[in-house]
Amino acid sequence: GAVVSQHPSRVICKSGTSVKIECRSLDFQATTMFWYRQFPKKSLMLMATSNEGSKATYEQGVEKDKFLINHASLTLSTLTVTSAHPEDSSFYICSALIHSGGNEQFFGPGTRLTVL
Amino acid sequence: DAKTTQPPSMDCAEGRAANLPCNHSTISGNEYVYWYRQIHSQGPQYIIHGLKNNETNEMASLIITEDRKSSTLILPHATLRDTAVYYCIVRRSSGTYKYIFGTGTRLKVLA
């Protein structure tokens, strides 16, 4: 199946700093990627849709200035959590869409962000 | 996109079939049913999807009722490694391609 990677897998940062998370499609090109966040024992919540070469589309309630998304190439999307605070601590997961057959998404392994 | 309803948890004996139900009574004609699972602290893993016909792959079988208002994911011989949260998602075959995750079913396979 299609492989999606994320880097870093785990990051700890101080409050007020910015953190960048990378999402890469390793063996296919992805014009569309998605970013989710997941709190402990909760389901995944869609944050935004990342489209290569254009602005991301954010879900209602997600601050676009807080969570900057860049999709500069067909294999890379980045999520930057700006001025992170402890309440931003979460599990961030990306996925990439394959435009064929069922148009299913393939997910990365996730990034655990802890803000002190 | 249609909402789905799944039981919050299920247990299954190792080696037995695990049958996970999903209700999607408001599904429309162009919406597919997708199944994923999430093992603790990992990203969701794609299992299978279907539109109206039953589907089978190396991981599981998907049985969709004739009226398409519900479906069942079948793991034919559950192992301890199948312990995970299983998500049933309904989504159109075109448009935004967004997934809206419900609460899923926490399957525990017992030795």
What tokens appear for B15 in the block?
A: 């080696």
Q: Which residues of A touch B97 (CB under 8 A)?
A: 32, 49, 97, 103, 105
Percent of all residues in chain A with a pLDDT value above 70, rounded to a whole number: 99
Inter-chain touch B43–A32, beta carbons under 8 Å: no
Q: Closest Cα of chain B to A82: distance in Å?
A: 23
The β-bridge relationship of strands A32-38 and B70-75 is unpaired
pLDDT at A18 over 90: yes
Inter-chain touch B46–A43, beta carbons under 8 Å: no
Q: Provide φ and ψ at B80, rounded to 5°.
A: -60, -30
Which one-letter amino acid corresponds to residue A89? S
pLDDT tens per residue, range A19-42: 999 999 998 999 999 999 999 999
Higher-scoring residue by pLDDT: B1, A73: A73
pLDDT tens per residue, range B18-67: 999 999 999 998 899 999 999 988 999 999 999 999 999 999 999 999 99
Higher-scoring residue by pLDDT: A109, B92: A109
pLDDT tens per residue, range B65-106: 999 999 999 999 999 999 999 999 999 877 889 999 999 999
Which DSSP string do the residues of A3-67 spell out, in sequence order?
A: -EEEE-SEEEE-TT--EEEEEEESSS--SEEEEEEE-TTS--EEEEEEETTS--EEPTT--TTTE
* Sign of the alpha-carbon dihedral angle for B50, A48, A70, A21: negative
* Sign of the alpha-carbon dihedral angle for A106, A77, A86, A112: positive
* Per-residue model confidence (pLDDT) at position B1: 66
The answer to whether the CB of B79 falls within 8 A of the CB of B14 is yes
Inter-chain touch A103–B94, beta carbons under 8 Å: yes
Q: Which residues contact A11 (CB under 8 A, 6 or more apart)?
A: A19, A21, A111, A112, A113, A114
* Per-residue model confidence (pLDDT) at position A39: 95
Q: Closest Cα of chain A to B14: distance in Å?
A: 24
* Per-residue model confidence (pLDDT) at position B67: 95
pLDDT at A102 over 70: yes
CA B54-B46-B68 angle, to 5 degrees, is 30
- Give one word for B15, left, alpha or beta, with left for phi > 0 and alpha for psi -120 to 50: left
